[in-house]
Amino acid sequence: MKQKQSIPSPPPQPLPIYNSTYPPPTPDVENIEPLKMSTPDPQTHPPTDIPKRKPVPPPPPPPAPAAFPAIDEDKLEPHPQTAKWPPAKWTQLPRKKNRLILTSIAIAICLLALIIGLAVGLTRHSNRNLPLPTTSGGPYTGDLTYYDPALGSCGITSSNSDLVCAVSHILFDAASTGSNPNANPLCGMKVRVKRGEASVDVTVVDRCTGCAVKDLDVSRGVFKKLADLDLGRVSVDWAWLEEAPVSVR
């Protein structure tokens, strides 16, 4: 096989070097001819009969918004749902009457709160450290116990929260005027019981068979106002708040 002979490439031509000693050549501007435009030949490019395109007309302006007719509010009919619910009568009253009504309600509420507060205060005061009277009999010293009241000998049904007591059977039987215990003169009488700085007014509703002459048996509510229920039995002083038909000795 024959080897291809490589053809040597011509050596690169050196670029001309221009400097202040050898400036670049200046073109001959005076010998340059102007470029002439050739006119089209009518035979080579005959005119066509295609008409020129007409200009597109501009779009029409948008229509003006329609003016809405004026609405007479007096002629409008009310909505059926709102027509079923007429305004409250008190809102139709003059402002002075509304203020008078609101002021009266506020005064009534204040008076009611004052009355309730006074009643509660008087009730609490009546159960605190009241002296024992001496004009109706007493004071006496005895044991105080508690029980669960129900239908008592006086024919009155009571509960543990009621301020009631049962006197000794000795006193109850001594004051009896007949065979009916409900008619006993001691039934409904008031007794004031005092222990230390606390006192409670109770009503006689029953007969205590296990009590001594000067002992009292009271409800749980009364006992808690004077002592702890865990004590069970304490010593107290008591006196009648009204003239009793019997005397305690």
Does 69 fall in a domain? Answer: no
Residues 198 and 150 in one domain: yes
Amino acid at 8: P
Average pLDDT of the segment spanning 12-34: 64
In the predicted structure, residue 115 carries a pLDDT above the cut 50: yes
The pTM (predicted TM-score) of the whole model is: 0.48
Residues 169 and 233 in one domain: yes
Angle subtended at Cα 193 by Cα 191 and Cα 194, rounded to the nearest 5 degrees: 150
* Nearest residue to 215 (alpha-carbon basis) of 143, 164, 146, 140: 143
**What stretch of H or E contains 165?**
strand 164-168
Does 41 fall in a domain? Answer: no
**What percent of the chain clears pLDDT 70, i.e. is strictly above it?**
59
Does 45 fall in a domain? Answer: no
CATH number at residue 182: 2.40.40.10
pLDDT tens profile 65-103: 766 666 666 666 666 555 556 666 655 556 777 778 888
Does 76 fall in a domain? Answer: no
